[in-house]
Copies of this chain bind each other. A is one copy, B any other.
Amino acid sequence: MNIVPIVNTNDAVVPPAEPNSDLQGVNVISVKDNDSLAARLAVEMKTDLLIVLSDVEGLFDSPPGSDDAKLIDIFYPGDQQSVTFGTKSRVGMGGMEAKVKAALWALQGGTSVVIANGTHPKVSGHVITDIVEGKKVGTFFSEVKPAGPTVEQQGEMARSGGRMLATLEPEQRAEIIHHLADLLTDQRDEILLANKKDLEEAEGRLAAPLLKRLSLSTSKLNSLAIGLRQIAASSQDSVGRVLRRTRIAKNLELEQVTVPIGVLLVIFESRPDCLPQVAALAIASGNGLLLKGGKEATHSNRILHLLAQEALSIHGVKEAIQLVNTREEVEDLCRLDKMIDLIIPRGSSQLVRDIQKAAKGIPVMGHSEGICHMYVDSEASVDKVTRLVRDSKCEYPAACNALETLLIHRDLLRTPLFDQIIDMLRVEQVKIHAGPKFASYLTFSPSEVKSLRTEYGDLELCIEVVDSVQEAIDHIHKYGSSHTDVIVTENEKAAEFFLQHVDSACVFWNASTRFSDGYRFGLGAEVGISTSRIHARGPVGLEGLLTTKWLLRGQDHVVSDFSEHGSLKYLHENLPVPQRNTN
């Protein structure tokens, strides 16, 4: 009837409270305030959910504002540990106690309750719609307790487990990874059985390419195990490597050493083989890890995660890797900035973009776009160009390092080289889009591009004409995404000019754009490709999962001794650093 009734206790006419039965029975609650009135109404009307809006975030386990106070996401009446009732100081606010009592009474009567803050201005939506959509807002009172720990508890376990992992010997971390590789082959049957369940449930609901990505096989598991052993081998030199040593003064020595970043959140789509690989990378770099996989791979992910924990437990660090319950929204995870140090989305560039948008205050490692260019110089070799263009565009057009825009020097128009490129593209069935300048040179031009800043990710290519190396560079700076850009030329001077001036993560000379890849670069395992300018840039190996810390060992050194009238002078003498293992 489009009517929202408002019922309010702020009225002179209230029945007297029933003594001694207050809040005790299922059917009796004396109405003293809006909280008890709301609980009574909710239960009598058999509602599913009662929302109690307050001016605090919800129920805290200690007085809000104290050092240890944490918002309780879900409260179970059976869970005695969470909060002590009756003592006002533990609950935090006087008014909160009445709300909690009313909530518990309503819960007994079959109505779940959310206590949340109704005073926040929201970016989009509203607290009520957020609650109705099941988002994590305020404190949810529920009879049903989930089996596992909360994501906050998982974050703490990953943090402390990761810290323990980081203090193991490199050989011990390698041992864990080798053990995980063994388990992948030894427990093959169990893994494939779980994977079969996922495939059966996904049948008909997922498209064929997605089903293929979801499916595991003996050969996939074998090559996964081989990859893991490579990670184990490359992990020896990662954590605790000394990057810099300085003698600051007599008996005062400074060391900069590599350490893990902390806790990583890795979000991956349907491919369950991602899990052991990411786990091995985290173990090798000594990081705690929160894994969030796709719902469609639940069974596979669960067993693979158990195996990772089994491997970790040989050195007592089982908890360093946590699989986050699929009920947690990715968006909610991206907001836990005190718990997570780096987010790594592994999947489509759409996934990366979504995560970058959702992440609040947590850095995201990844590339949102790969608009790669190849500039064919007037002095390019006829033999090389076609090969390079074909490999860059056609070998795997969906990859982020595939070619999107071909820049051709004007002098090459209407030459045999030009015809050769076009013929090859026809044979490979590449759809050509003409840049405005290219179109103006042709009598009958292919369709003009909508935007010179397009990532086709398919057998489509934009061709544009430029007058010089400099114009090619300007075009790349204007329309590129600073991912990978290539010059094809026999003129070394032009090539070096291009290499120095193009401001991209990867700049190549006479090589396919597709080399832009951690494995091909020889970085061992690849975490991903980053187009960020901060931290890791380009293909990222294990080093992208490390940061540094500074260790200073003195005797009783104080800075005032080094002041203008002090007795000491800074030496700042660089000391030799152990050389890196070169194969």
Residues of A near any B CB (own CB < 8 A) = 66-67, 121-124, 163, 167, 246, 248, 252, 254, 259, 261-262, 341-342, 356, 361, 363, 381, 383-384, 387-388, 390-392, 395, 451-453, 477, 479, 495, 499-501, 503-512, 514-516, 520-522, 533-535, 537-539, 547-560, 562, 570, 572-576, 580, 582-583
The answer to whether A510 touches B555 (Cβ under 8 A) is: yes
Contacts A248-B521, A533-B262, A562-B520: A549 and B538 contacting too (C-beta < 8 A)?
yes
A117 → B minimal CB distance (Å): 15
Contacts A522-B246, A535-B534: A506 and B549 contacting too (C-beta < 8 A)?
yes
> Once bound together, how far apart are the Cα atoms of A548 and B554, in whole Å?
33
The answer to whether A507 touches B163 (Cβ under 8 A) is: no
The answer to whether B341 touches A533 (Cβ under 8 A) is: yes
Query: Known contacts A248-B515, A506-B550; can you find 12 more A-B pairs with CB under 8 A?
Result: A67-B453, A248-B520, A381-B556, A391-B560, A505-B549, A506-B552, A507-B550, A511-B556, A511-B557, A515-B554, A515-B557, A538-B549
22 A-B contacts (beta carbon < 8 Å)? A121-B124, A163-B501, A167-B500, A246-B522, A254-B521, A254-B522, A259-B503, A261-B533, A341-B534, A356-B361, A392-B558, A395-B559, A508-B552, A509-B551, A511-B556, A515-B557, A520-B559, A534-B534, A534-B535, A534-B547, A574-B582, A575-B582
> Using Cβ atoms and an 8 Å threshold, which residues of chain B touch A495?
553
The answer to whether A550 touches B505 (Cβ under 8 A) is: yes
> Using Cβ atoms and an 8 Å threshold, which residues of chain B touch A570?
520, 522
> Once bound together, how far apart are the Cα atoms of A555 and B387, in whole Å?
11
Count identical subunits in the complex: 2
The answer to whether A509 touches B342 (Cβ under 8 A) is: no
> Using Cβ atoms and an 8 Å threshold, which residues of chain B touch A261?
533-534
The answer to whether B576 touches A582 (Cβ under 8 A) is: yes
> Once bound together, how far apart are the Cα atoms of A535 and B560, in whole Å?
31
A451 → B minimal CB distance (Å): 5
Choose one: B122, B452, B512, B537; the contact of A559 (CB below 8 Å). B512
Give the top 5 A-B pairs by smallest Cβ distance, nearest first.
A511-B554, A391-B558, A522-B572, A384-B556, A574-B582
> Using Cβ atoms and an 8 Å threshold, which residues of chain B touch A392?
558
> Using Cβ atoms and an 8 Å threshold, which residues of chain B touch A575?
582
> Using Cβ atoms and an 8 Å threshold, which residues of chain B touch A576?
582
> Once bound together, how far apart are the Cα atoms of A19 and B549, in whole Å?
76
Nearest to A576 among chain B residues (CB) is B582
A35 → B minimal CB distance (Å): 29
Nearest to A261 among chain B residues (CB) is B533
Nearest to A389 among chain B residues (CB) is B558
> Once bound together, how far apart are the Cα atoms of A572 and B583, in whole Å?
9
> Once bound together, how far apart are the Cα atoms of A583 and B246, in whole Å?
11
> Once bound together, how far apart are the Cα atoms of A342 and B532, in whole Å?
11
> Once bound together, how far apart are the Cα atoms of A504 and B261, in whole Å?
11
A524 → B minimal CB distance (Å): 9
> Using Cβ atoms and an 8 Å threshold, which residues of chain B touch A67?
451-453, 479
> Once bound together, how far apart are the Cα atoms of A82 and B41, in whole Å?
63
Nearest to A248 among chain B residues (CB) is B522
A452 → B minimal CB distance (Å): 6
The answer to whether B538 touches A246 (Cβ under 8 A) is: no
> Once bound together, how far apart are the Cα atoms of A391 and B540, in whole Å?
42
> Using Cβ atoms and an 8 Å threshold, which residues of chain B touch A501?
163, 167
A282 → B minimal CB distance (Å): 15
> Using Cβ atoms and an 8 Å threshold, which residues of chain B touch A556?
381, 383-384, 387-388, 510-511
